[in-house]
Amino acid sequence: MRPKSCRASISAKGAFVPALDYDGPVALTRDIFWVGRHATELTLHCNTYLLVEDEETVLIDSGSIPDFPVVMRKIIDVVSPQSISLIVASHQDPDVCSNLAVVEDVIERPDLRIAAHGATLRLISHFGLRSELYAVERHDWCYTLPSGRVLEFIHTPHLHCAGSIMSFDRQTGTLFSSDLFGASDEDWALYSRRGHPHSMTGWHQTMMPANHLLRACMEKLETLPIQRICPQHGSVIEGADIAPAIAHLKTLPVGLDLMDAGA
């Protein structure tokens, strides 16, 4: 299912574009969908994504308990929940994956796997999960779907959790970036627009510990053929907006940098 455009607006670049219907799933590519919850009263939107490959589906960051009814309704609009064979938890925060046990019950697949770094799995195992826990560092930092399509995992230690990971779909050039490239914005839109990349500043300065960690991560990302960045918060970044976003975070003082500067 692909959502219908319901209105029109002017983008940051002056182009006339249709507005998106956030009440339904939004197709980012032919096989990647945003199924998050949008509400005008939220200042922190949590983005959940589906990657649909043949008869198998990957769920990226299943979301929170309050978001569950909306997220699951949108998933059902795209695929049968029973087609989900893998759930990726980029880290353990409640907004990212506190609904895992409920989602697991709906999927009802004995072969369901939950992929995360081992440091994350040690914590989310306390949710009482029944599914196989797939430690990405023990599987060459990747997961291969039955079709042969590979999802690559990138460890981003302490950005902002010890076991934080990003997921990269090389087939579409899509980077699911977890909290990196995120933003907290009252005037939220699914796609980045005017004010970006500076709209990411406050989020990263609050959540990320030090620039030297950010810089090393951004240097690694500069080597990848990224076509779009799908963060867990904030807006999807595409095309020509990607390089400025990486450059902005590469030099941004955050966390301890700001504390040292104020000492």
Cα–Cα distances (Å) from 167 to 63, 76, 188, in that order, read 16, 23, 23
Question: Is residue 241, in this structure, part of any structural domain at all?
Answer: yes
| DSSP secondary structure letters along 185-210 | -SS--SB--TTTTGGGHHHHHHH---
Question: Is residue 196, in this structure, part of any structural domain at all?
Answer: yes
pLDDT in the model for residue 21: 86
**Which has the closest alpha carbon to 211: 263, 259, 162?**
259
Residue 6 pLDDT > 60, yes or no? no
Question: Is residue 32, in this structure, part of any structural domain at all?
Answer: yes
Angle in degrees, CA 69, 70, 75, rounded to 5:
100
pLDDT level of residue 261 (50, 70, 90 thresholds): confident
Strands (E), 31-108: 32-34, 49-53, 56-60, 84-88
- 50-70 pLDDT per residue, tens: 999 988 999 999 999 999 999
Where in the sequence is the domain holding 91, given as residue range(s)?
7-262
- 163-192 pLDDT per residue, tens: 999 999 999 999 999 999 998 776 788 898
Please give the Cα distance from 96 to 78 (Å, whole number): 20
pLDDT in the model for residue 214: 96
Question: Is residue 1, in this structure, part of any structural domain at all?
Answer: no
Please give the Cα distance from 54 to 4 (Å, whole number): 23
Residue 4 pLDDT > 50, yes or no? no
Q: How many CA atoms lie within 13 A of 15 on its CB side?
A: 6
Question: Is residue 172, in this structure, part of any structural domain at all?
Answer: yes
Return the CATH number at 228.
3.60.15.10
Question: Is residue 48, in this structure, part of any structural domain at all?
Answer: yes
CA torsion sign, 68 to 83 to 49 to 12?
negative
Please give the Cα distance from 16 to 37 (Å, whole number): 25
Please give the Cα distance from 219 to 162 (Å, whole number): 19
Helix (H) or strand (E) holding 124: helix 118-124
Q: How many CA atoms lie within 13 A of 10 on its CB side?
A: 2
pLDDT in the model for residue 17: 47
Which residues are 187's β-sheet partners? none
pLDDT in the model for residue 149: 96
Question: Is residue 122, in this structure, part of any structural domain at all?
Answer: yes
Conformational region of residue 66, where left means phi above 0, alpha means psi within -120 to 50, and beta covers everything else: alpha
Question: Is residue 2, in this structure, part of any structural domain at all?
Answer: no
Domain count, the chain: 1
pLDDT level of residue 3 (50, 70, 90 thresholds): very low
Residue 121 pLDDT > 60, yes or no? yes
- 85-95 pLDDT per residue, tens: 999 999 999 98
